[in-house]
Amino acid sequence: MSSIIESAGKRLTQEERFEKARTLIFPTPAEASARLAAEVADLIRARQAEGRTAVLGLATGSTPVPFYRELVRLHKEEGLSFRNVISFNLDEYCGLERDHRESYFSFMQDQLFAHVDMPPENVHVPDGTLPVDEVYDYCREYERKIEEAGGIDLQILGIGRTGHIGFNEPGSTRDSQTRMITLDRVTRQDAAADFLGEANVPRFAITMGVGTILAARSLVLMAWGENKAEIVHSAVEGTVTDQVSASFLQEHPNATFLVDTAAASQLTRSCRPWLVRSVTWDEELEKRSVVWLATTLDKPVLKLVDEEYNENGVGELLTEQGPSYDINIRVFNQLQHTITGWPGGKKGSDDTNRPERAQPYPKRVVIFSPEPQDAVTSMGGTIHRLVDQGHQVTIVYQTSGSLRVSDVAARKFSSVILEMGEVLGDEGWKSQTSYAASIIAQLDEKGEFGIDPENVRRLKGLILRGEARDASKVFGAGDSTNLFVDMPFYEKGRYRRFHLTDDDVAIVKKVLERIEPHQIFATGSAADPSSVQALCFTALRSSLEQLKEQSWLGNCFVWLYRGRDKRVDSHEIDMAVPMSPDQLALKMDAVRKFQSIGREELSTADQNREIAKNYDSLGMAEYEAIEAFQRWRP
C-alpha cells in the first residue's frame, strides 16, 4: 500500500471517483493508527539522521488515542527517540487551568508527552488561561513560533461532527489564523460526557486557523466509527465550503483522510458500490440497492418500474435479475419476513421464513446492556415480549454507569438518609448518618468539575442499579432477571480514554459459560469506537472467540440492537419487532425510571417511530413503532 503521509501526485481510481480528497480505508482504527505511527517514526528517524528536527502538528480527542499509544510503544519497545521532535497542538479550551483533567494540555501529557523523551521546551499547546485582551498577541506569537520552527511537516487532525478541524467551527474562512472562537452547540454536546454535563463545557477555545493548518506540508485527518460517516462523506465528496472546514483539505496538495470501514460507510464506494464498480448481486446488495432506490424516489418497493432502475444507476441489477417486478417481489418478501412479534421464536410454528427459530422454547436469553439504561432504551419493547412469552431472560448490566449519574442524584439520596437519621434520632442510624454526611462532604469538596471519589462513584452506581430494577419491573421481570457485573475498565476509566483488559473479557465469558444462552442481544460495534458501548461489544466478541469450541454456541443466535446515536437503515434490519401505541407507552415508562441520568433518552420513542415510518414508506404494514435488530454471525 502507498504511503499515508506522502500523497502528492497520486491519481484517483475509478472506484474513488466521487471522492475529491485522497481517502484510505482500513478495517480498524488500530491498524490505521499503527501504519501511520510507523510512517511518523520513519520521518522522525530520517530527520535524526540528517541532524534536523521534525515538526508535528498534534490533535486531541479520542481519535488520535490509538496513534499516541502506538508512538509510546515505539519509544518504549523500539527505542524511537523524540528528542528532535517539535510539536504544536491545534487547540485548547479557554478558562481551564493547564492541570484541569479535561484541558488539552493534560490530555497530551497523559497520552504522549509524559511517556516519551521530547524536551519540554519543544512542546507547544495554546494557553487557554490568558486574559482576553492578551489573546490576540499570544495567537500572533503562536503563528510566529510555528514559522520559526520551519513550518509544520505533518499535521495530524481529527474531525468534529460539525466538520471542524481543530476548533474551526462552521463559518471559519479558508485563510483564518490562530484565534479565539466560540464553540458550536453540537461540539459542546459532544463534549458533555467528558465534563459531566453540557453546562460545564467551556464556551470558548483557542484554535489554529484553517489557514494555519493548510500551511502544513502534509495533513492526515483520522476518523473512526459510524458517528463520523456522514461528516466524512460531506468533507470528502461534498463541495468545498467554510461550513465544513475539513472540506478545505480537498484543496491541499498533500492531504489524506485516514478512516476505518465504519467512518467510510457513507462514501459512495461503500454505500452504493454499484455506481463505481461492477458488483456481484447477492441478496444483501439487491436489498440494499432496492431499498435505496425506493427511498430516493419516495415510492413503495412494489411500485418501482424498469425505467427507474435504469435512470438511477441500478440498471445492471435489472439486466441481471430483472424484470423489476420480480426483483421488487423478492425484496418485498425479504423485508416482510423480518417483521415478528415473537423475538424469541414462535412456539410450534413453521419458522422457515421467520427471523428466529421456533425451538428450543422457552429460550435462555442473555441481554447485554453496556450502561444500565442501554438495553431498556434500545430494546425495551422486545424485552417485554421476551419476558411475556415465557423466556428465561437475564439482563447483564456490564458497567455501573456511575459516570452518568448527576451529583444532584447522589446528594438527594444522601440527604434523605441524613434526615431519616435525624427524624428517628435513633442510635442504630449512626453509621448510615455518618456515611451520608461523608458523601455530601465529598461532593462539596470536589466541586462541579472534580473527579468523584470511590465512595461517591459507588453510590452513584447503586442508584442506577435501583433504577434498572425499577425499569425491568415495568416489564413484569423479576429481580432474578438483573445481573450487575461492573466491568473494571469502566470503574477505572474515563470517557474517551477507557482501556479494556483481559479481566473485562473474563467477566463476560464467565456469564456466558454459566448461562449457555440460546439467544444473545447486544449493542453492535457502536457509532463511536471509543465509547463504553463499543468496548463492551469488543469484550463480548473476544469472549465468544474464546468460547468458539463450545457446542452450545453453535446453537446460539446473536442479535445486535442499535445504540443510542446510531441510525438504522431499513435494508440493515434482520428482525423488526413492532410495537403498538400502548407498548411504546409502557416502554417509555420504563425508560423514565432512569431519572438520575435524565435527558437525551426520550428521543428513543422518535427513533422507534422513525424505523416504523421507513418500513411503512417501503410498503410494509403501518406500525406505531419498531425496534430493529441485525443478526450477527461471529
In the complex, least distance from residue 64 CB atom to ligand GLP, rounded to whole angstroms: 7
Asked if residue 126 has a cis previous peptide bond (ω within 30° of 0), the answer is no
Q: Which three cell numbers stand for residue 360?
A: 428450543
Footprint on residues 158-197 left by ligand GLP (CB under 6 A): 158-160, 166-167, 187
Nearer to ligand GLP, 160 or 421 (CB): 160
Say how many C-beta atoms besides its own lie within 10 A of residue 501's C-beta: 12
Footprint on residues 342-371 left by ligand GLP (CB under 6 A): none
Q: Which three cell numbers stand for residue 273?
A: 458500490
Residues in contact with ligand GLP, counted by CB under 6 A, come to a total of 14
Lay out the site mask for ligand GLP across 495-534 (x = CB under 6 A, - = otherwise): -x--------------------------------------
Query: Please, are residues 343 and 358 in contact by the beta-carbon 8 Å criterion?
Result: no
The SS3 assignment for 217 reads coil
Nearer to ligand GLP, 160 or 372 (CB): 160
CA angle (27 as vertex; 548, 22 as ends), nearest 5: 175
In the complex, least distance from residue 127 CB atom to ligand GLP, rounded to whole angstroms: 16
The burial of 551, by beta-carbon neighbours within 10 Å (0-12 exposed, 13-18 middle, 19 or more buried), is given as: exposed
CA-wise closest residue to 410 among 376, 377, 444, 434: 444
Please, what is the angle between helix 454-474 and helix 430-446, to 10°?
Answer: 110
Question: b/e per residue, 463-491, with b = 16+ CB within 10 A?
Answer: bbbebbbebbebbebeeebbbbbbbebbe
In the complex, least distance from residue 496 CB atom to ligand GLP, rounded to whole angstroms: 5
Footprint on residues 132-161 left by ligand GLP (CB under 6 A): 158-160
Nearer to ligand GLP, 177 or 187 (CB): 187
Residue from 16, 19, 91, 286 in contact with ligand GLP (CB under 6 A): 91
In the complex, least distance from residue 594 CB atom to ligand GLP, rounded to whole angstroms: 25
In the complex, least distance from residue 443 CB atom to ligand GLP, rounded to whole angstroms: 28
Say whether residue 471 binds ligand GLP (CB under 6 A).
no
Query: Please, are residues 570 and 336 in contact by the beta-carbon 8 Å criterion?
Result: no
Residue from 40, 90, 379, 439 in contact with ligand GLP (CB under 6 A): 90
In the complex, least distance from residue 93 CB atom to ligand GLP, rounded to whole angstroms: 9
The SS3 assignment for 158 reads coil
Nearer to ligand GLP, 183 or 405 (CB): 183
Nearer to ligand GLP, 207 or 583 (CB): 207
Nearer to ligand GLP, 193 or 553 (CB): 193
In the complex, least distance from residue 270 CB atom to ligand GLP, rounded to whole angstroms: 20
Nearer to ligand GLP, 102 or 504 (CB): 102
Nearer to ligand GLP, 186 or 553 (CB): 186
Nearer to ligand GLP, 57 or 421 (CB): 57
DSSP secondary structure letter of residue 128: T
In the complex, least distance from residue 307 CB atom to ligand GLP, rounded to whole angstroms: 43
In angstroms, the CA 517 to CA 523 distance is: 17
In the complex, least distance from residue 621 CB atom to ligand GLP, rounded to whole angstroms: 39
In the complex, least distance from residue 98 CB atom to ligand GLP, rounded to whole angstroms: 16
Show the 3-state SS of 466-499.
HHHHHHHHHCCCCHHHEEECCCHHHHHCCCCCCC
CA angle (45 as vertex; 21, 497 as ends), nearest 5: 65
Say how many C-beta atoms besides its own lie within 10 A of residue 542's C-beta: 17
Say how many C-beta atoms besides its own lie within 10 A of residue 357's C-beta: 16
Active-site residue flag, 169: yes
CA-wise closest residue to 360 among 531, 196, 516: 516
Nearer to ligand GLP, 108 or 318 (CB): 108
Query: Please, are residues 44 and 80 in contact by the beta-carbon 8 Å criterion?
Result: yes
Show the 3-state SS of 564-622.
CCCCCCHHHCCEEEEECHHHHHHHHHHHCCCCCCCHHHHHHHHHHHHHHHHHHHCCCCC
Q: How many residues does the chain have?
A: 634
Which phi and psi angles does 379 have, rounded to 5°? Answer: -145, 30
Footprint on residues 600-619 left by ligand GLP (CB under 6 A): none
Q: Cα separations (Å) of 208 from 235, 331, 588?
A: 19, 50, 44
Nearer to ligand GLP, 1 or 199 (CB): 199
The burial of 77, by beta-carbon neighbours within 10 Å (0-12 exposed, 13-18 middle, 19 or more buried), is given as: exposed
In angstroms, the CA 598 to CA 380 distance is: 17
Question: b/e per residue, 599-628, with b = 16+ CB within 10 A?
Answer: eebeebbebbbebbbbbebbbbeebbbbbb
Lay out the site mask for ligand GLP across 418-457 (x = CB under 6 A, - = otherwise): ----------------------------------------
Catalytic-labelled residue, pool 19, 102, 169, 356: 169
Say how many C-beta atoms besides its own lie within 10 A of residue 187's C-beta: 17
Lay out the site mask for ligand GLP across 28-67 (x = CB under 6 A, - = otherwise): -------------------------------xxxxx----
CA angle (540 as vertex; 536, 541 as ends), nearest 5: 115
In the complex, least distance from residue 191 CB atom to ligand GLP, rounded to whole angstroms: 7
Q: Which residues bind ligand GLP (CB under 6 A)?
A: 59-63, 90-91, 158-160, 166-167, 187, 496
Task: Write out the catalytic residue numbers.
Answer: 169
